[in-house]
Structures are given as structure tokens and as C-alpha cells.
Amino acid sequence: MKLHEIENIEVELLLEAIFQRYGYDFRGYARASIRRRIKQFMEGSKIATISEMIPRVIHDESLFNEMVREFSITVTEMFRDPAMFLALRENVLPVLKSYPYIKIWHAGCATGEEAYSLTILIKEYGLAERATIFATDFNDHALSLAKTGIYDLNNAKQYSLNYQKAGGNGSFADYYHSRYDAMMMNNELKKKITFANHNLVVDQVFSETHLIFCRNVLIYFNRELQDRVLQLFHESLVHGGFLCLGTKESLMFSRVEDRFKTIDKKNKIFQKID
């Protein structure tokens, strides 16, 4: 048996062990992505083989928590893909404005930058008083960073540029204050967001929602898991609610494809019709 075939067996055993021990289900993640992250974690932890890692992860919860952080995708920024936020302003918020009260769910929020971006968008459109924003992730470490609302000040210039391209009404600097090398989001924004742990793989429907924002998460799932999560989103949305996906994600060939209509094909914005 070739080495990569043995590693494939080891990966399956590790993921099954994690699920049985901790309830975290990574078995539906795309194998190329999950294998790469396992290898990165092994290198940092000085572990020689996946087989060696299995008993250590099972018996050492702190080591498992470190590994979960490695598995979680936390690459994000304020107003990432500004054209999508501009499309939200033009095509989605006018519809949401017709509701007396709206719920927004940002699934897979990572360290929170895009959740704060959504909050700024809602505020500038005059919907802040009747909107509740839930931002969720399975990575507690990322959530703790998101709750602080503190980010690297070196990114402020790029964030400001993104904000302007997204149709910002004022100055991005109005939404944070800086100290030393850090920028802290205003308390007014932080109070509008409820950060919570929610695992898309194993947890159930998340409330009745008018807008679900989940970008660049599904690309790490296999087809079966993508279908399951998209079904979860469909069940969580009100009739006429909106779903925003990442630039490389799609509803095509999914079981819910016919239950949405495309609002913006390029920016991957869909509306529930069934």
C-alpha cells in the first residue's frame, strides 16, 4: 500500500475519532483542504504521523482545541469584495426595509470583520434600530477576537478603500478609534452584534432569518455537506429572505437550487421563493 493511501486511512480514522470524542464533525470537509491543515498542525506540534496524533488528540482536549483553530478558516477583512456589499445596498436592503423587524445571520463569521461591515451597512441605511445581527462560528478563539472588535491598524487604509468601494456614506474612520497599533470598533456597532458558537455541520436551524450571509465557507465542504448546509439555510430563511454566498460558491446542482431565484449572479445573492 502506498504512503498516500495509508495517510488517507489515517485521516479518516482521525476525523472519526474527533467526532466520537468531541462531537465536531469534519468528515464532510473537502479532503485536500483538511489534509493540508492536519499537516500544518503536525508540523507546528512536532508530531511525526497522523496515527501518532490520534491518541494524543483524544486524550488531550487542549491539544484538540489548538487543532480546531487550525481547521477553522479565519481569513477575512472589512467589506471584503466591496461589489457584493454595494449590491446588498442596492438590491437587498430596499426589500428588507419593508419589514418592521429584521434578523440577519452571519454564519462562519471568523474574527468578525465582515459582521461589523454588515452592521455599518445596516446603520447607514437606517435599519439599525429594527435589525438584530447574529454572527456565529464554531471556533471559540475566533469568536473571542470578534467580540473585542480590535484589529490591526495597519489594515485601516485597505478597509477604508473597501468601504468607499462598497458605497460608504461617510468616512470609515468614524466607526473606530485607534490606539497604538490597534483599531477598535465603536461600542455602538459592537452592541448590535450577538456573537455565538454555532456549528454548521452538526447544529440545527438558526431562528427565522431575513438575510443569511455565509461567504467562502462552503468551498471547504464536500458536495454532501454543502447540500446539508444549504438545506439548513433554506429552512432558516423567511419566505422572500436572502442568501449571500462567496464568489466561488453556488446553488447549482444543489437540492435547494429551485427554491431560490438569483438576484445577482456575479455577487452570489439569492432570494428564497419556496
Give 112-150 pLDDT, tens digit per residue.
999 999 999 999 999 999 999 999 998 888 999 999 999
Mean pLDDT of 107-112: 94
Mean pLDDT of 141-167: 95
Helix (H, G, I), strand (E, B) or coil at 178: strand
Cell readout for 214 is 455565509
Give the pLDDT score at 69.
79
Q: How far apart are CA 163 and CA 168, in angstroms?
A: 5
Cell readout for 222 is 464536500
Fold that domain 82-272 belongs to in CATH: Rossmann fold (3.40.50)
Q: Has residue 175 got a pLDDT over 70?
A: yes
Mean pLDDT of 194-210: 87
Name the residue ranges covered by the structural domains of the chain.
3-71, 82-272
The neighbour count for residue 86, using CB atoms within 10 Å, is 18
Question: What letter represents residue 96's amino acid?
Answer: L
Quick: pLDDT tens for 1-40.
777 788 889 999 999 999 899 888 888 888 888 888 899 8
Query: How would you class 62 by CB atoms within 10 Å of its CB: exposed for 0-12, middle for 13-18, buried for 19 or more?
Result: exposed
Q: How far apart are CA 91 and CA 266, in angstroms?
A: 13
Question: What letter represents residue 104's amino acid?
Answer: I
Q: Has residue 94 got a pLDDT over 70?
A: yes
Q: How far apart are CA 244 and CA 264, in angstroms?
A: 10
Mean pLDDT of 88-94: 96
Q: How far apart are CA 136 and CA 152, in angstroms?
A: 22
Q: What is the pLDDT confidence band of residue 92, given thresholds at 50, 70 and 90? A: very high
The per-residue pLDDT of the chain, averaged, comes to: 92
What percent of the chain stands above pLDDT 90? 71
Helix (H) or strand (E) holding 85: helix 82-87
Q: How far apart are CA 233 and CA 214, in angstroms?
A: 9
Give the pLDDT score at 187.
95
Asked if 233 contacts 225 with a C-beta cutoff of 8 angstroms, the reply is: no
Give the pLDDT score at 73.
67
Q: How far apart are CA 103 and CA 133, in angstroms?
A: 6
Q: How far apart are CA 32 and CA 135, in angstroms?
A: 27
